[in-house]
Structure formats: structure tokens, C-alpha cells
Structure 1
Amino acid sequence: MTTDLTTDSSPEEELLENVDQIAEAREAILAQVRKRIYGQTELIEHLLVALFSRGHCLLMGVPGLAKTSLIATLAEVLDLDFNRIQFTPDLMPADITGTDILEEDHATGKRFFKFIKGPVFSNLLLADEINRTPPKTQAALLQAMQEYEVSAGGTTYELDLPFQVFATQNPIEQEGTYPLPEAQLDRFMFHLTVDYPEADDEVMIVKKTTSSYKAELEPVMDAQRILELQNLVRRVPVSDEVVRYAVDLVRKTRPDGSDAPDYVKEYIGWGAGPRASQYLVIGGKARAILDGRLTVSNEDIKALALPILRHRLLTNFQAEAQGLTTDDIVKRLVEES
């Protein structure tokens, strides 16, 4: 799993030679993760697409569905630095990014400020219950998520790559929570729902977690290899037809646009921006190459449309009155496209 991607072959031959390696890496990752996580196959697949697309994920699910365990397991399998932040109402921005502390040089007596890095300085950051902290603290992640750097005390510090944020939210308990600003929501590639496990999977979960059994995981790759594969994914060719399909799908979510169907104009107050089109295409590339294909199809775009678009649309009062959600609108757009 640590083969160097640098060869003397042509770019096309190099891509073909490494497609099988990426597909094998996917299977190896899944095999290791499944030692501890039972079921949730589609969720894990989406997390891998996000990983190799350099995208962040927002996971929505009730407590006890192994969201934290899944991200920690993924970090262990990928041999990445992992930090978890429990977001609370009293959490401050410096608790995430780090802070300057005053120190004294005992030899000279001079005082100076030293920056102590916060938990954001990791490869995989789990922002647990991110909506439980005020917007000011939530915004502390914006620069890190978009620019891969942190500014503090007039100095900018670069984050080690790869860097990705996996945030969780509880959809049931809303007391004492703060909705994520739209600007921050838009920086999450995926909004994923974590469902209850199937009956057989739940039986296995109960059996394993109530015994002394603890699966030992073997790292499948490291940070350098992940960066190589992320760069490789971006070199996957995609036809103008598929790009146009992704862009047209996103444009149909905008109620003021001429491409929008009547039901979008009736029920949507605000549609998705160009970042959604970008994520659809790069996500389609990652999905194709993880499946051992060099050809991105419209089916790849359709498969990723719901988790990429659901948090980028705003329904109006009329939709809420009729019980329609953004999921309903996106599913209808995909079916009719």
C-alpha cells in the first residue's frame, strides 16, 4: 500500500496502473473498519469518497450510533493523527486553535509569547456535537477547513496535510444548541445521516461490545500515501457532458434561475452555489476511482447528489407547512434529471 506513484510512464498509463491499487486500498480499509464497525456500509463509502476528495463531513444521527467510534477507527486504520473536541457552550475559539502563553527565559529574564497548538492541529478532527457551541467558536474552524491554516497572534500556522473535519450533530435534542451558519455548512462536502443499524448488525454490535473482545487493527496506509491518492483523484479525466450534468443539476436548485422547475421555485428559498458543482465532480472522480474505474458517469453524480445538496438548499415557509424537506426536493430533481 505504499507504492510510489512516480513512474516513467505516461500520465494515462500511470493512472491505469494505480486504479487497481486504489481499489485494493479501498477494500483493505473496509476490511479493517468492519472489524469494529458493523453495517453502515454506505456511510463508510461516503467517508472514503470525502477522504480522497479532501472534503469535510457533517454526520447527523442520534447518540449511540458509533459516529465517534467510526471516525476514530478510520483514523487508526489510516495511521493519521486524530483529535476529538467535545463542543460545549463554554468552549472558546482558543480551545480549538490554540493560544499564546507568556513564558520567561530563565537565562536572560526576557519574556516572550509562545504559541501552544490546539487540537485542530491534527489530520482527522472530530468536532463532536458541533452545534452546541456559539457561532463565534464554530467560526474558529472556518479558516482551517478552507485554507488549511490557523491565524493566531498575528502569525499564520499551516496545518499538516491531510486535514479533514468530521463533525457530528444530534437531530433530536435542540435545547441549548446553535444552528451552524450557512457559510460553515457550505464548507462541508457531505451532510450524512447515520441511521439505526439493521437487525443482524445490531445483534453483532451487542455481542461484540458486551464481551471482552477487542479487534486489533492494522494500518493500511499513511498520510503521505493518502496525499498521493488525493492528488491522483484530481487527475482523473471527466467528460464535458458529466461536468455539464453536475452544473445543470445544481442550477436547477436555484429558484430565481430559468432552469429551476416549478416546484423548486415554489418551495425553495435559496439554492446551492458553485461549490456544490465542484464537490459533485471531484466526488464523482473519487467514487469512480475507488470503484476501480477511470470513467466518471452521471450515475456517480446522482449517487452523491443528496449528501452534497441537502444542506445547501433552504426551504421556504410553504414547504415547511406541507412537510417537505430538502431531501424530498433533491430526490425529485435526481429522479427527473
Structure 2
Amino acid sequence: MTSFAGFADFNEHYESLTTTENFAGAFAGELERAQLSIHDEPTSADMPDPDAARLCTQQMVAELFALMGDTRLAPLASRIAWGMVNSFHKVAQQIAREEDDAARNLGELARIQDPSEIHALEVEEKQRLCESLSEALAAIECMRDHAAEVYRVETGKPWSATSGSRTSRALTASQIEARDFLAARAQSRREAHAPTGPVVVVSGGSAWQAHEPLWQRLDLIRERVPHMTLATTAQRSGTDAIAAAWAASRGVPIVAFRLNRAKGNSAGFDRNRQLVALSPVEAIICEGSGLQVNLAQRCREAGVPLTIFRAAQFAQVEGSKAA
């Protein structure tokens, strides 16, 4: 068991990952009484201390790597830690669904013209439930985001959910499923699901390994377009994984455009069409397959500023380094 001094060490090591202001806001506890279920009695109990919540989240994930590091179990640490972050994510998803149900019920009650005291009490209860769930959701999302940042620092890879979108009220690097993103744009839904920044597209082969030129180019674009949103083709290795790691380290929202398998052999080309339809302000394409060639052609036709990296450029550099 780690002592309180250990907590202080964790806090110092990870202090730049998630600001204390995020936790202070998420754990403010401004409701006089909270109620997370219609089966629970309202409570005036305090929210957890924000600093303690931040430190506890860090310890949960970081101590696992400290325990298994430099041992034969080290390769398993990232798999277990991924599941720990995912636990926060799953609970947040559950709360979000409950909040949606509560908000829908509250809206239905608000439309009923009933002056009775019983109706007024029912409206009050539904509103308290909705507000309490919203408060709880912000707190769990904040812990999830911080746990994900610890995971990123320890593994060098951004944490990514296998299903659903990862968004939060204080999220620095949203990872958003493409369908959610497009639907949100079309319907003017929540800002968390529809980043408004100019879109920069990145695509490339899954075997691409030259991360330095890609990071350098993305940094240059971000200097000119500080509020950019990054759109990738959602591969878990190569170009997309390198770009996702850059976005996580820079706090840039990222939209992962996965293939729609129902489209069959045309799925990749349909995704390219969707990416260009976003009117990106710039695109970076690393050598890969015919899909990258097609995307480059579409970008040129649409007048999108384009940077193309070819493997041969960097193979020579890597060869000279090895020599």
C-alpha cells in the first residue's frame, strides 16, 4: 500500500496531465441535495474532495505500472490499465443514458398543465434527479480523462474506447466516432460532439513508423490553426496511431472515421469522400495503399493544401542514423 507521501510523488509526476481546475469544477457539489435514483432518498452529503479524487485516480492506474514494471508481467500492465480506464468510461456511458431518460421525463412533465402540489413535487424530484446525474457524470468523466492521460504517459499511446464516443464537459482531446460527429454537425447537437475547429485530415499506411516528420508537420499546422480538429482513418497502428498520440499530447480534438463495413469494397473510398466533404483546411497523407492515393487525388481536386510523405524519404535518413 502506498503512503500519503507516495500520493504526493504521483501528483508531482502527473501534475501537468489534468489541471486541478478541472477537478475543482467537476467536484464542486453545488446542489443542496442530490439523488441519483428514484429509489434513493435525497442526500445532502458532500462530493468527494477534488484533490483526493485526482490523486486516487492517479494511484489506481500508475501504481499498476510501478508494480509490474521491469518484471515478467510488464507486458500485461497496459492491458489491465486499459480496462481500468474503460471501467470509468462504461459507468459514464450508463450515467449519460440515465441522464437522457431523466431529462426526457422532465420535459414531458413540464409540458403538462397541472397546478396540483403532487405534480409540482414530481417535477421537483425529476429535476433533482436530472441535475444529480449531470453532476455525477461530470465527476466520473473527469476521473476517466485523468486516468486516460496517466495511461497515455505510461504506454506512449492514447487510450481509446472500443465502442461509443468519448466526450466530456472538460475534455482536452475528444475521441469521437465519425457517425456521432457527422450527426452532431447536421443536427447542431452538443458542442462536445461537434468540434467547431477547422478540420485537418491525416491518413496513411498501418506500417508507417516515421513519427518525427508527422509530429513536426502537425505542430506547424497547429501554430497556424490553433483551434484545429484532427480527422483520421481510425487505424490502431501506423500513421493514425502516431497522429492520435500527437493529438492526445497537444490537447487537440480528434475524430476517428471508421470504415462502414456495410459498404463492402467501396467502404474506404466512401470514407475518403466523407473526409473531403468536411472541407478540411489541410491534409497530410503518408504513403500507404491505393486508398491514400485516392484520398490525395480527391484533396487536390477539392483544392485542399496537401503534404505527402513517402517512405523512401525517411528510409534513407534512418539508414544514415544506423550507420
TM-score for both structures, normalised by structure 2: 0.27
Which has more strand, going by share of residues?
A: 1
Of Structure 1 and Structure 2, which has the larger fraction of its residues in helix? Answer: 2
| Greater C-alpha Rg | 2
Q: Highest relative contact order (Cα 8 Å, sep 6+), 1 or 2?
A: 1
